[in-house]
Amino acid sequence: MLRPHALIALLILLFAGPCRAAVMSGWVVWVVDGDTLHLMDEAGERHRIRLSGINAPEKDKPFAQGARDQLVSLVQGKRVSVYWDKVDKYERIVGKVVSEGRDINLALIRTGYALWYRRFAQEQNPVDQMLYENAEQAAKREGAGLWSGQRR
């Protein structure tokens, strides 16, 4: 039986659709906030990465530090791959961050420290849309992170 992380990685590969995404690998050298980090690539070049499909609280909002701490615990100092095909208006590479086969963007939603960013759902493949929406619903039900005190 496949471990959950391996199953997710397999689903990503099988259902990602036509591969338009570029892949960048390197080490996370700084976590700015709950949805932005800096990556040092193989050539020693630093890149600003905005995690796609999610939105974490801004620095001056409640749970912002918790979201940043959660991302730090998942990726700080680790080697990651970023699957991307977009640069935002702030010149950040926007992509899915994967560490050891684990979708870090999805992990942040599951912990309740990020929302599924529905505004950009059309940029995701259908499997990711389903996984991200289900993770957000589970976080809400469990009262995790942003949803604490709001159990349904």
Residues with a catalytic annotation lie at: 50, 58, 92
Say how many residues make up the chain.
152
- 1-4 long-range contacts (CB < 8 A, ≥24 apart) are none
| Dihedral, 81, 70, 119, 8 alpha carbons, nearest 10 | 50
d(CA 50, CA 96): 9
